Structure 1
């Protein structure tokens, strides 16, 4: 689905949140690779489950056409610095929900970009018949957990020893949901 672009001014920067377009595909491929290498809060290490330009073109095309999918980007000075996706399922028993994921370049943490991507996604979900949004977050990511709770998500469960990080220790994943 496509949304109307929105502009934000925070701490001296201006960014726009808009729907991803086909011309973003290569930049998104590069961006995802960079973000995966900047934090262990995500599921992938840098280079894992790589999506090339053509892969992103297909995702953008699909997400633009399907009513329960939403692919957003945040742009600063004509550079994509963050993205988020809501991916719905089209099995009848699950048509009421969508799963949210987000990635923000580390240089742009602290500007509320991830929060606004989520707020935009929540507003989209609420006006498009989505009854439940889900997400997963590493238990140690306290800042994200706090944000998600403030925006109406609640903990539905914990996957114990779910992720093995670079320190060779296992960490729990928290499953959260927001109900409309």
Structure 2
């Protein structure tokens, strides 16, 4: 599904959040592995589960047409610096929910980009019949967990020893959900 573009200014940085477009595919294909390498909060190591340009073109085209999907891009001066996706399913028993994921370049953390991508996604969900948004987050990502709680997400469960990080230790994944009020 597509949404209207919105402009923001936070901490002196101007950016916009808009629906992803097919022309964004090359930038997204380069951006995703870069973000994966900036933090261990993501599920992937840099380059794992790589999505090439045609892959992103297919995802963007499908998400633009599917009523339970939303692909957003955060853009600063024509440069994509983050993105988020809500992905629903056509299975009737799960048709009321969408899974949410977000990532932002580290140099732009603290500019409200992740928060605004989340806010826009919630607005979209609440006005398009999505009753539940679900997400997973690394237990050590306390800042993200606090943000999700502020937006009404609750902890639904914990996957114990779910991820192994570069320190060789295992970490839990927190499963969170928000049911539309």
TM-score (norm 1): 1.00
**Which consecutive unaligned segments of at least 5 residues does structure 2 have?**
none
What is the count of residue pairs matched by the alignment? 180
Tell me how far apart the structure 2 counterparts of residues 62 and 131 of structure 1 sit (CA, whole Å).
Answer: 21
CA-CA distance at 1:33 after TM superposition: 1.0
**Which consecutive unaligned segments of at least 5 residues does structure 1 have?**
none
Deviation beyond 6 Å, 4+ runs, structure 1: none
Q: Match of 2:110?
A: 110
Tell me how far apart the structure 1 counterparts of residues 86 and 3 of structure 2 sit (CA, whole Å).
Answer: 13
Q: Match of 1:84?
A: 84
Tell me how far apart the structure 1 counterparts of residues 103 and 30 of structure 2 sit (CA, whole Å).
Answer: 12
Alpha-carbon RMSD across the aligned residues, in angstroms, is 0.3
Q: Match of 1:3?
A: 3
CA deviations 1:71-116 (Å, max 9, x no partner) are 0000001100000000001100000000000010000000010000
Q: Match of 2:34?
A: 34
Tell me how far apart the structure 2 counterparts of residues 118 and 11 of structure 1 sit (CA, whole Å).
Answer: 18
TM-score (norm 2): 0.99
CA-CA distance at 1:133 after TM superposition: 0.1
- Alignment of 1:119 with 2:119, yes or no, is yes
Tell me how far apart the structure 2 counterparts of residues 89 and 118 of structure 1 sit (CA, whole Å).
Answer: 19
